[in-house]
Each structure stands twice: as structure tokens, then as C-alpha cells.
Amino acid sequence: MKKMLLLMVVGVACGHAPAAPPSTNRPNVIVFLVDDMGVMDTSVPMLTDERGQAQRYPLNDYYRTPGMQRLAARGIRFSQFYAQSVCSPTRVSIMTGQNATRHRTTNWINPFQDNRGPHGPREWNWTGLKKGDVTLPSLLQAAGYRTMHIGKAHFGPGGSAGADPENLGFDVNIGGDCWGHPKSYYAEDHYGNHPKYPKPTHNVPDLEKYHGSQTFLTEALTLEAKEQIQKSVAEKKPFFLHLAHYAVHAPFQFDPRFKSHYQKSDKSPRAQAFATLIEGIDKSLGDILDQLEGLGIAEQTLVIFLGDNGSDAPLGGTHAVACAAPLRGKKGTHYEGGMRVPFLAAWAKRNEAHPAQQQLPIAAGAVQTQLGTVMDIYPTVLELAGVANPAGHVLDGASLKTLLAGNPDASRKEMFLMHYPHNHRSSWFTSYRLGRWKVVYHYHPHRPAKPRYELFDLERDPFEQHDQSAENPARLATMVQAMIEQLESEGALWPESADARPLQPVVPPGK
């Protein structure tokens, strides 16, 4: 049996990269992050058929996202892009380039208390990012970038340094705090700050000037982002904007600007409200693209659009084929619908002769079928900005440069590890993708009743309908061994329960 010792990972950098001289010719970067937006919550088809061609499904025809269609036409989309299955682990991974198993923020951060859950590991990193941690914005800041966070942060619990993005390398923070979702999207409710609420929790800060108006939260954050972009241009500094919308997380409140678009659908009012949140996000993207063009900086501004975990659309059951159809499962689960997210990357305006675009060529209107992960954003942006990763800071991600050009990259390992040693929708699981195969281990298979292992061939069974763990023991053994080695290399923490079944190698029959 493999030892389940806790391995301390040396992932703290000794220092920051030397500052580079500021230059107005250096590329700007926008990471446009949407909360709880899954791979099917868009009119842009992300999934592909066996030939690698984009394949439309009914949900693509339900949502209206012309801004995403515009970005996809200018750049590339990924059909297999992975995030953690819940939000805080993904957000810390984007900031650090490390997998959640390594940085140990393996669950969403409760603003008020340790959220390890029953029998979760006591040493998990429930306080998230801390002042002095190596982060993408801190490195860019040291290199002369103006760094801005707008919207949801959720990097640390209430009262911690990580709750304020300005402690993590951002020059500007508007709207970011310890909250994982807003109490209200409505300015009439002061975004949760209204005196009618007896206890101010999940109240979005810094937006007082909109209180009492009819400015939906998504629109308010977009207006703030545009103002900060304008200031960066006025200061003649390259910028990094982390625009992290609270939408489309619950509460599922109608964005009134788009309500009429969905009232004739056969879906529930909550699902209609969710669709208006999606369209509001899309309008935000379009408005930002318009501004970049108006300011004359679109050609040197990279836009990366993605979700932070699988969809939580109010459609169907948690593990069913419903909210991410034809994929199975939703946010918080071990299925593909829980961890596959939309990913688009494009220069805001195409000009292949521009020096920035020659430095990072991006294919137009292309679909990349090779696997990418949220850990890859950190090294990709640093490479574009000409900033080195500090010595001693371990990376789990790799540059997407070759993939963004629409080419295969044989140097990349087709692998994604999702380690969730907590009790949530799927209960204590580890999911491991390696090439075409995916294995899932359930530490408590009887809560609820599940097999100990699940094994899927995602090439032949992309929608995870046929568990091969019993009929293919040799492949199961190989995958479990590889998963164990990856977990140990990243210093995995384990569930702490007397009846949790320890992860151990599988011995196939005849061995």
C-alpha cells in the first residue's frame, strides 16, 4: 500500500523577477473570468466531433452570446479546457500556475470559517493566498504593468490579507472581497449593502455610486473596468486586467436588459434568469472589445475568456446529463460537466503584422482539441510579458503558445488532476485524466452509493456513459498507479476519516 504521508511542497519563491522598464508597446492582457460558466453555457460550440470539428448542441441554440462569437472569430477556442470543479481552487491556480493539490486550496473558501468539511484534511490551505505569495499580478506589477482586479476575488476568507486583492499584487481592487457570490445583483438593493438586510454579508463593495440606480451588477463592474482601462492608457502603462464577474453564480436573478429574450422558452424561470446572466456577461465582453478598438489599443491587447468551473445552470440533477448536455454532471462533480469550461483567446483586433501578435500568433476562428488547463494561463502571460517565473516557484502549468497558434504541441502531457478531499456534491474524490483515459477514485463510495473506481475512455465515450473499471482491470491498474504518482509528486493531502478507503494500487487479475 502506498504511504499516505503528507508531503510539504516547496512552492514559495525566493524573490520576484527583476522589474522590466515600462513601455507602451508591451502587450496588455485581460483575463475575463466568469463565475460558474460551463462549457455549454454559450452560443459558441466548444465541443467537437470525432474529426475535431465544432459540433452544435441544443444548449448552444438556447444561449445568446454574440460577443463570444466575435472573439471566437478573431481567435481560438479550446474544446478540452479544464478548471477545478469549484471556484477558489481555480482562482488560486490562475494566480499561481499551480494545481490545487500543490497550493492546497482544494475547496471553496468559506468567508467565515475553515471549510474543510467532515473529515477533510486539517492542513488544507483554507486561508488561500497570502501577502508575499508569488502571484501573476505581483510579477507583472514588478515588471511595470498596471494591475487591476475588478469583481469577484474569493482568494481568502474574511479578515485575511488574501481577501483584498491589493495585498496580492493588484494596484487597483474594485468589488473584490471574501465573498463567493453576491447577495443581490440589483443596485436597488445596493448589491447587498442595503440597510434592509440585517447582516451585511455577500455585499459587493466599492460600488456606492450606483446604489439606488437601475445598474445591474454586471454592468456596474463593466463600467468600472472601462474606467480603469482608460486610466491605464492615460498613464501610458501596459496593463493587466483581471475582470472576474460575480455572474453567473446564484442567486439566479433576471438581468432585466435581456429578460424578454427568454420568456417564450420552455425552461423554468430560474433557467431563464440564468440565461439573462449569461447574456449580460457577453454584453460586458462586447463592450470591452468596443472600448479597446476605440482607444486604438485592441491590436496589442490579449483577451483570455474562461469560466472558473463547470456550469451550475438550474437545469436537471447534479450528476445528470442536463445543465452541460451532452456532458454529464455540473459544478462540484467529478464528471466532465463539472470541470470543462469555455476558453477563448484572441487579440482584441487582428493584425498579424503587429509586433505583439508576431510574438504570440493566435489562429483565427480555430478550434484547439489538445488539452489545456487553468494552470497554463500564468506561464503563458508571463512569457508574453517577458517576465521570468521566480526560481523556486514550482509550476504545474505550461505555456499555451504553440496551441494558441492552432498547432499540436507534442511536448505537453495530456493530463489533468482534480483532487477533492472534501465532502461536497461528489464526496471525497480524485479524478485523473491522462490521454484518452480518465479514472475517478471515490474515498467514500457508499456516501452516496458509488463504485470505488470509475474508468472512462473519453475518446470513444466522451459523455461518460460506460464505466470500464470492471471490464478493463489492466487499464484501471495503470491509471490508478499513474494517479497515485501524480498525487504524491504534488504533495496531496487526504481525507481524514476512519472509514475512508485509502487510495492504493490496483493489482489486475493474474498478477
pTM, rounded to two decimals: 0.93
- Residue bearing the bigger pLDDT, 346 or 506: 346
Is residue 367 situated within a structural domain?
A: yes
- Amino acid residing at 440: V
Render pLDDT for 276-300 as a digit per residue (tens, 0 to 9): 999 999 999 999 999 999 999 999 9
Identify the CATH number of the domain in which residue 172 sits: 3.40.720.10
Q: What is the pLDDT of residue 23?
A: 46
130 with 248, same domain: the answer is yes
Look at residue 304 and tell me if it is in a domain: yes
pLDDT band of 17, cuts 50, 70, 90: very low
- The residue length of the chain stands at 511
Give tens-digit pLDDT for 424-468: 776 789 999 999 999 999 887 555 556 689 999 999 999 999 999
Distance CA(68)–CA(53), nearest Å, equals 18
Judgement on whether residues 395 and 441 belong to the same structural domain of the protein: no
* Residue 466 sits in the same domain as residue 317: no
pLDDT of res. 200: 80
The answer to whether residue 21 is domain-embedded is no
pLDDT over 90 (residue 135): yes
Domain check: are 368 and 436 in the same one? no
- 351 in the same domain as 437: no
**What pLDDT does residue 501 have?**
60
The pLDDT value recorded for residue 374 is 98
Q: What is the pLDDT of residue 117?
A: 84
- For residue 223, how far is the Cα from the chain centroid? 23
Is residue 48 within 8 Å of 317, Cβ to Cβ?
A: no
When mean pLDDT is compared across 20-29, 240-249, 439-448, the lowest value belongs to 20-29
CB contact set of 153 (below 8 Å; sequence gap of 6+): 91, 163, 164, 165, 173, 176, 177, 178, 244
- pLDDT exceeds cutoff 60 at 119: yes
Q: What is the pLDDT of residues 369-391, one digit of tens each?
A: 999 999 999 999 999 999 999 99
Domain with 129, as residue range(s), is 28-404
CA atoms within 13 A on the CB side of 366: 17
pLDDT, tens digit, 9 for 90 and up, residues 159-205 = 999 999 999 999 999 999 999 999 999 999 999 999 999 888 999 99
Render pLDDT for 466-495 as a digit per residue (tens, 0 to 9): 999 999 999 999 999 999 999 999 999 998
Tell me how many domains the chain contains. Answer: 2
- Looking at residue 505, what is its pLDDT? 65
In this structure, the answer to whether residues 477 and 390 fall within a common structural domain is: no
Considering the domain architecture, whether residues 397 and 479 belong to the same structural domain is answered as: no
Residues 233 and 316 in one domain: yes
- Quote the pLDDT of residue 20: 40
Both 435 and 483 in one domain: the answer is: yes
| Residues 78 and 188 both lie in one domain | yes
Say how far apart CA 324 and CA 252 lie, in whole Å. Answer: 17
Tell me the average pLDDT across 355-360. 97
- Residue 240 φ/ψ region, left for φ over 0, alpha for ψ in the -120 to 50 degree band, beta for the rest: beta
C-alpha cell at 240: 493587466
